[in-house]
Amino acid sequence: MIRVLESERDEPLRGAETEDPFQTANERMLQIQAICDRAAPVNVPILILGESGAGKEMIARYIHSRYRSSEPFVKVNCAALPADLMESELFGHERGAFTGALREKPGKFELAGRGTIMLDEIGEMSSLLQAKLLHVLQDGEYSRLGGTHSLTSEARIITATNRYLKDMVASGELREDLYFRLNVITLEVPPLRDRKEDIPALCEKFIERYGVTYSSAVRQLPAPVLEAFQNYHWPGNVRELENAVRRFLILPDLQHVLADLTEKKQNVSVAASSRNSSLAMSLKDLAANASEKTQRELIFQTLNEVNWNRKEAARRLGICYKSLLNKLHRWQSQNRIATEDSKGDVELSIPDRS
């Protein structure tokens, strides 16, 4: 069975299983399947975008199974390894290339052979490795760390990320030429909250996958649990759903599952409310500051026109004399504080001409 979720395995896998992972009723997922079927026989880079847990590795494995299933599938998590080890991990090293290199080691590109190498979280790759990867994409050649001769790669390169690569290009974190090389075919996997019609089929698949392993008597989810799953937002996407099903197979406590989902929804609602409140307060503060600035400019303009006769200024402005005095005193205090902070103990005085 082709895995639906992103795993942490980096070792090469042979003989990819052939079960169709696109058991879906979602239009966008069906479009992705159609693109995968057309792109699979062609050796061009494929970029898979999507949130963590949305199923990017599942898409990569599906592409691999269509045309290269007898060859290795090698996954490398670019975020899991330190930058100083990543070059050796990807391209291998010769004996003595660095302290501790007691023997030669083939890299992931060598292990992939004519199969598929998936570079997960490509946005975390260092600029040095970006340049070397670009060379592989352009010429199909690379060299081991400490090596003196070139090696050839025939592996299909699939990259994946949950980051916005265009923003990374704009900020200089990602080479623009590398981005264009990777972006020949782009697939954007929708999050689970945008394809909730797939939840029942995914649950059935997870029950089938783990039911025997966990010696579970559960053959299908109770209607209240399935309904709660349909109403939940799934920030962790398919991976979170898989874990929820696994927990229920091990501990089939209906009330506990419902209470857990309810608590998660409440926590998300509180967080969203807090963010919205902060935004509203920011807009309110902005409006208040703009109004204060306008008032100040108008009052000081009027005071200058009447030679700082505050009673006359209050009459022209249509406000009471006391209100004008309060505003002037407040602004005087603000100016005193600002001036003391920047220049020492200096006070901005306001003329007293009543």
Pairing of strands 151-152, 156-161: unpaired
Residue 102: enclosing H or E segment and its boundaries?
Answer: none
DSSP 122-184: GGG--HHHHHHHHHHHHHSEE--BT-SS-EE---EEEEEESS-HHHHHHHTSS-HHHHHHHTT
Nearest Cα neighbor of 22 from 40, 46, 43 is 40
Report which of 20, 37, 32, 63 is spatially closest to residue 158, judged by C-alpha positions. Answer: 63
Residues with Cβ within 8 Å of 340's Cβ and at least 6 positions away in sequence, in order, are 346, 347
The residue extents of the domains of the chain are 27-190, 194-252, 265-343
Task: Specify the 3-state DSSP secondary structure of 47.
Answer: strand
Dist. CA 134–CA 113, nearest whole Å: 18
**Residue range 194-252, CATH number:** 1.10.8.60
Task: List the pLDDT tens digit at each of the 354 positions of the chain.
Answer: 223 333 333 444 444 444 556 778 899 999 999 999 999 999 999 999 999 999 999 999 999 999 898 999 999 999 888 877 888 899 988 888 888 888 898 999 999 999 999 999 999 998 889 999 999 999 999 988 888 888 999 999 999 999 999 999 999 999 999 999 999 999 999 999 999 999 999 999 999 999 999 999 999 999 999 999 999 999 999 999 999 999 999 999 888 888 888 888 776 655 555 666 665 656 556 656 667 777 888 888 888 888 888 888 888 888 888 888 888 888 777 665 555 554 444 444 556 555
Q: Indicate the fold that domain 265-343 takes in CATH.
A: Arc Repressor Mutant, subunit A (1.10.10)
pTM of the model: 0.70
Find out if CATH 3.30.360.10 is the number for domain 27-190: no
**With contact defined as beta carbons under 8 Å apart, do 137 and 159 qualify?**
no
Tens-place pLDDT, residues 25-37: 899 999 999 999 9
What pLDDT, in 10s, does the model give residues 325-348?
888 888 777 665 555 554 444 444
